[in-house]
Amino acid sequence: MIRVFDVFLSVLLLAFLAVLFPFVALAIKLSSPGPVLYRARRVGLNGREFTMLKFRTMAVRDHQGSAITSAADPRVFPLGALLRRLKIDEFPQAWNILTGDMSVVGPRPEDSGIVNRYYRREDRQVLTVRPGLSSPGSIYYFLYVEPNLCARSAEADYVTAVLRDKIALDMAWVEGRNLRAYVSILVRTLGAILATATGSTLRPPLPELDRLTRGAHGLAEDSA
């Protein structure tokens, strides 16, 4: 059933993208020389690599470097920052969803370097489902982590202080995924984008984070 919803929503997104694409493409071309689309190699279902599509938000010469991008990353040109803030840069992934490499909801696909260097054996459980546009971990990252990452140490900070929690949050989706949870993530993702776009201090609920925090607190009490 989830795959049926994926196909339906990806077709809707592609129809919307067909209207939006010429305007975004022209704006990118006028803002920064180079291709309109960025093709990123990512790790997907069962560890298989695939090419994920995005609207390009960085200067071509600056795509090398850290695999993690902070909100203040100097590699991102001004229009690119706006596209990232509104998540418009992710729209081309509708094609990845239609072809089956991704789902609308699922753990965000990770750079292969991050997976190969830092994923533990148990972390690879998140690779047993299709990666997605959004998940509990990606909402948490978008709202609470990305705005505060230091551009100079983004990857190191991500690996040491963020990655474990992000994987734990996404495991909540892997272990309890169903259509109701799928719809919940969609609604909360739209809420997160709206809050960021308007500068609102209101945030959509993230019960997975509450459970993770309570679980860590319980473990600390047990070990005391």
pLDDT band with cut points at 50, 70 and 90 for residue 57:
very high
Answer with the residue of higher pLDDT: 96 or 211.
96
Instruction: List the Cα angle 42/103/205 in 5-degree steps.
Output: 105
Average model confidence (pLDDT) for the chain?
A: 90
Q: What is the pLDDT of residues 103-132, one digit of tens each?
A: 999 999 999 999 999 999 999 999 999 999
Q: Is 77 helix (H, G, I), strand (E, B) or coil?
A: coil
Phi and psi at 134, nearest 5°, equal -150, 155
Q: For position 1, what pLDDT does the model report?
A: 86
Percentage with pLDDT > 90 across the chain: 70
Please say whether the beta carbons of 44 and 102 come within 8 A: yes
Residues 40 and 50: their CA atoms lie apart, in Å, by 8
> What is the amino acid identity at position 28?
I
* Tokens 């196909």 sit on residue: 7
**pLDDT-wise least confident of 55-69, 74-88, 90-104, 148-162:** 55-69
Q: Is the dihedral of CA 180, 183, 185, 187 positive or negative?
A: negative
- 61 burial (CB, 10 Å; 0-12 / 13-18 / 19+) is exposed
* Tokens 């090419």 sit on residue: 51
